[in-house]
């Protein structure tokens, strides 16, 4: 055949040749169309997962710093005990440093009760924090008319009926370090402070249900901490390398302190995001494989139609491997054609959604349209997965007894 390998040549001819039974073309078209839909769905849904994951990551980056330094045993420590300039050298010039005091506290608001992870921050936190972009109600501030104020997570506020428009204050309670007379009642064993509410902030459902930010002076008064005592030092690295700074800090501080980046602090969230995306990929690949089994029917009917051709090839000395290879390639070409069409459709739909946001989010969400981020890695794993699935099914179909032709 003038240097052309007969197997691929015959398979391509069979793919585009007119069949005597139109049902073969129909089954082949259904197989290709099903694979196309499955491939497009993979690209679209993985891209939507990327969009939501990016939003979660962005929200967490607005809440959590690049680096957090705290004691390994969880105790408070003096912020002056860590000389960042000596440890980091010139990298310290690019840092934004915030000293925080965070503790679990009990809350009362009128008749409502709750609990929160109250985070005491310095005044500079207001200017530097990206949380100001997450205010749902009120004003992002720690003081009003010289009086301390609290910013409360939206879900926590909803559960307790907290509203920054109301004059009523939230009361924070924390166990006192000073022994009390047990006959006085358990209420006297608590330190308490009262603060007004300046704003409701919303980051994510899990965060909002436990979030409260107050002045660090208020937290020190509540927990009985010294003027320079903190539970953590938070660093935003700016132009400096986060990994480089972490290496220097871990080397200098030793095992007494733990130095973590944002991903380590929220490792469970990021793992869940990764596992959810992988689960979506597996489920959709399973659907694609089920759809691709139509190739079995298509190849079986094609074998019946081309039986005389195969007998002729055997008479000319062709081996079983050649005849099998023709039908394997035929089935694979059907799956590849569907994959190519689905890939093109999926990428185009993603780009259209990115540009115009045609598919809107239902009411109650801060986003107007479904977020979509198209990644080359997702395209690659989709192409590899669908191509291998099509090849595996074609190989399995070729091993059926009716594809073995007598010499």
Question: Looking at the 3D structure of the chain, how many domains does it have?
Answer: 2
Q: Is residue 353 in a domain?
A: yes
Q: Is residue 244 in a domain?
A: no
154: domain range? 96-236
Confidence of residue 380 (pLDDT cuts 50, 70, 90): very high
Q: Is residue 120 in a domain?
A: yes
Residues 227 and 342 in one domain: no
Looking at residue 182, what is its pLDDT? 57
Confidence of residue 181 (pLDDT cuts 50, 70, 90): low
Q: Is residue 380 in a domain?
A: yes
| Separation of alpha carbons 231 and 375, rounded Å | 39
Is residue 211 within 8 Å of residue 117, measured between CB atoms? yes
| Residue 17 in this model has a pLDDT that exceeds 60 | no
Is residue 175 within 8 Å of residue 182, measured between CB atoms? no
Dihedral-angle region of residue 329 (phi above 0 means left; psi in -120 to 50 means alpha; beta otherwise): alpha
Which of 191, 214, 236 is at the close of a domain? 236
| Separation of alpha carbons 387 and 324, rounded Å | 19
Q: Is residue 297 in a domain?
A: yes
**pLDDT for 60-105, tens place per residue?**
899 999 999 999 999 999 999 999 999 999 888 889 999 999 999 9
Q: Is residue 322 in a domain?
A: yes
Higher pLDDT, 399 or 144: 144
Q: Considering the chain, what percentage of its residues have pLDDT values greater than 90?
A: 66
Residues 282 and 364 in one domain: yes
- Looking at 21-30, 56-65, 141-150, 378-387, which range is the least confident one? 21-30
Which of 180, 211, 236 is at the close of a domain? 236
Higher pLDDT, 123 or 294: 123
Q: Is residue 262 in a domain?
A: no
| Residue 300 in this model has a pLDDT that exceeds 90 | no
Residues 274 and 385 in one domain: yes
Residues 101 and 227 in one domain: yes
pTM of the model: 0.81
Residues 282 and 396 in one domain: yes
Q: Considering the chain, what percentage of its residues have pLDDT values greater than 70?
A: 83
Residues 384 and 277 in one domain: yes
Mean pLDDT of the region 105-110: 96
Confidence of residue 160 (pLDDT cuts 50, 70, 90): very high
Is residue 240 within 8 Å of residue 184, measured between CB atoms? no
Q: Is residue 1 in a domain?
A: no
**pLDDT for 182-209, tens place per residue?**
555 554 578 999 999 999 999 988 899 9
Please list the alpha-helical segments (H only) found in 93-199.
Answer: 124-128, 154-160
Strand duo 147-153 + 190-201: pairing: parallel
| Residues 216-234 as b or e (16 or more Cβ within 10 Å = b) | bbbbbbbbebeeebbbbbb
Mean pLDDT of the region 295-320: 66
| Residue 336 in this model has a pLDDT that exceeds 60 | yes
Which of 214, 236, 258 is at the close of a domain? 236
Residues 176 and 120 in one domain: yes
Mean pLDDT of the region 18-42: 80
The token duo for 383 is 């192409």
- Nearest partner of 123 among 141, 136, 97, judged by Cα: 141
Looking at residue 326, what is its pLDDT? 75
Residues 211 and 296 in one domain: no
Looking at residue 82, what is its pLDDT? 94
| Separation of alpha carbons 97 and 128, rounded Å | 10
Residues 274 and 232 in one domain: no
Question: For the chain, what is the mean pLDDT?
Answer: 86
| Residue 378 in this model has a pLDDT that exceeds 50 | yes
The token duo for 180 is 């009390």
């Amino acid at each position: 055949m003038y240097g052309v390998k007969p197997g691929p040549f015959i398979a391509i001819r069979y793919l585009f040749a007119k069949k005597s039974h139109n049902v073969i073309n129909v089954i082949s078209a259904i197989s290709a169309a099903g694979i196309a839909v499955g491939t497009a769905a993979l690209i679209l849904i993985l891209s939507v997962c990327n969009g939501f994951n990016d939003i979660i990551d962005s929200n967490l980056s607005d809440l959590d710093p690049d680096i957090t330094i705290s004691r390994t045993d969880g105790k408070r420590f003096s912020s002056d005990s860590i000389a960042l300039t000596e440890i980091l050298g010139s990298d310290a010039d690019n840092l934004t440093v915030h000293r925080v005091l965070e503790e679990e506290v009990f809350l009362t608001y009128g008749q409502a009760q709750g609990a929160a992870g109250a985070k005491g921050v310095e005044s500079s936190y207001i200017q530097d924090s990206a949380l100001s972009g997450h205010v749902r109600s009120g004003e992002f501030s720690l003081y009003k008319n010289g009086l301390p104020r609290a910013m409360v997570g939206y879900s926590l506020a909803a559960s307790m009926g907290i509203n920054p428009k109301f004059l009523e204050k939230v009361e924070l309670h924390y166990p006192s370090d000073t022994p009390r007379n047990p006959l006085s009642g358990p209420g006297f064993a608590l330190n308490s402070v009262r603060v007004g509410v300046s704003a409701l902030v919303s980051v994510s459902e899990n965060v909002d249900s436990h979030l409260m930010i107050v002045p660090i002076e208020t937290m020190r008064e509540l927990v009985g901490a010294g003027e320079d005592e903190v539970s953590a030092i938070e660093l935003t690295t700016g132009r400096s390398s986060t990994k480089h700074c972490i290496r220097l800090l871990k080397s200098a501080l030793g095992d007494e302190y733990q130095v973590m980046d944002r991903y380590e602090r929220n490792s469970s969230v990021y793992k869940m995001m990764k596992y959810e995306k992988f689960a979506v990929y597996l489920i959709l690949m399973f659907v694609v494989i089920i759809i691709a089994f139509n190739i079995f029917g298509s190849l079986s009917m094609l074998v019946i139609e081309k039986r005389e051709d195969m007998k002729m090839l055997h008479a000319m000395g062709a081996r079983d491997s050649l005849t099998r290879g023709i039908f394997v390639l035929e089935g694979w070409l059907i799956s590849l054609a569907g994959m190519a069409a689905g890939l093109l459709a999926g990428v185009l739909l993603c780009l259209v959604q990115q540009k115009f946001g045609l598919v809107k989010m239902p009411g109650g969400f801060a986003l107007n349209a479904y977020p979509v981020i198209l990644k080359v890695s997702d395209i690659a794993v989709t192409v590899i997965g669908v191509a291998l699935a099509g090849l595996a099914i074609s190989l399995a179909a070729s091993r059926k007894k009716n594809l073995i032709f007598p010499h």
